[in-house]
Amino acid sequence: MKIRQILSNFRQQFALTLLLVLLDAGLLVLFPLFIGLAIDDGLQQVYTGSILLGGLGLVSLLVGAGRRWFDSRFYAKVYEDYGTIVGSRLKGDTSSKTAHLRLLGEVVEFFENSVPAIINSSVGLLGTLTIVAFLDLRVFLGCALVLLMVVMVYGFTERKTVRLNKGYNDELERQVDCVGAGGELSLRNHLRKLMRWNIRLSDLETINFSVVWLVMMAFLVLSIFTLVSDGLLQYGAIFSLILYLFQFIESVSALPFFYQQWLRLIEITGRLGKV
């Protein structure tokens, strides 16, 4: 069973949820810009910007709530259908089937929760870079440099991440057997090994995140100092630009986490593909 097969069999539903996610993400990108407009209008005793900001919030609520209502029902159907297929095709004992169903649950959870978050971060990142480029070219170039450094950091550790995920999943597939054996020592050894893999993954992520965070904080401080000292933009525009910098940092911080989830998903679907 491949990801491509799942996407093909539910192509219309996936297309609809993808459209809703993109629309939701696009609306979120506009919030800092509309907040800046509302501030500038408010300083001039004009409330058009505030009305537009309220309208944007209402539309964003309707789209976001509608997407979540649809997604919960759609992905429940995906898990039901493919869980039945995996369970019926698998040869062997109950423990093997249970382990594979657990892995399938991770795949479905990734599509339901992580994919919308990935799209939100990606659209937010691209939208932020586009708007920042119009507001201040120097800040845009700084964002591009930071993004390049993040890609280099996580690209450098990709192979190690894949290897650690493989070790974790190998041990996870033995969990039901260890529980069923009933021996306390066997179960303790299994859990210790499982957590060792988990700790190694966490330590690697901590190191990567720390390096990236230091780079982004230095960029944020330098950008704010430059914008305030120049005095070339209106107060609302400066405030919007700072919000976009925070949004940029949030998106860049989230993408590596989703990237690691994607690497784990590839390793899991490789196992399920043998079913």
Q: What is the CATH number of the domain that holds 9?
A: 1.20.1560.10
Token pair 């920042």 is at which residue?
132
Cα dist from 273 to 48, 82, 195, whole Å: 55, 12, 26
Q: Which domain holds residue 141?
A: 3-272
Q: Is the pTM of this model over 0.85?
A: no
What pLDDT score does 122 carry? Answer: 81
175-209 pLDDT tens trace: 666 666 666 677 778 778 878 888 888 888 888 88
Question: What is the DSSP secondary-structure string of 58-96?
Answer: HHHHHHHHHHHHHHHHHHHHHHHHHHHHHHHH--S-HHH
Handedness of CA 216, 220, 222, 227 (dihedral sign): positive
Give me the mean pLDDT over the 110-115 stretch. 73
For 174, phi and psi rounded to 5 degrees? -90, 5
Q: Report yes or no: 248 and 125 within 8 Å, Cβ to Cβ.
A: yes
47-93 pLDDT tens trace: 888 888 889 889 988 988 888 888 878 877 777 766 666 556 655 55
Q: What is the total count of domains within the chain?
A: 1
Q: Report yes or no: 206 and 153 within 8 Å, Cβ to Cβ.
A: no
Handedness of CA 118, 119, 120, 121 (dihedral sign): positive
Q: Measured between alpha carbons, how far is 257 from 255 in angstroms, rounded to an integer?
A: 5
77-90: burial string, b at 16+ Cβ within 10 Å, e else: ebbeebbeebeeeb
| Strand segments (E) across 102-247 | none
Q: Report yes or no: 125 and 25 within 8 Å, Cβ to Cβ.
A: no
What pLDDT score does 156 carry? Answer: 84
- One-letter identity of residue 58: L
132-141 pLDDT tens trace: 888 888 888 9
Give me the mean pLDDT over the 35-58 stretch. 82
What pLDDT score does 95 carry? Answer: 57
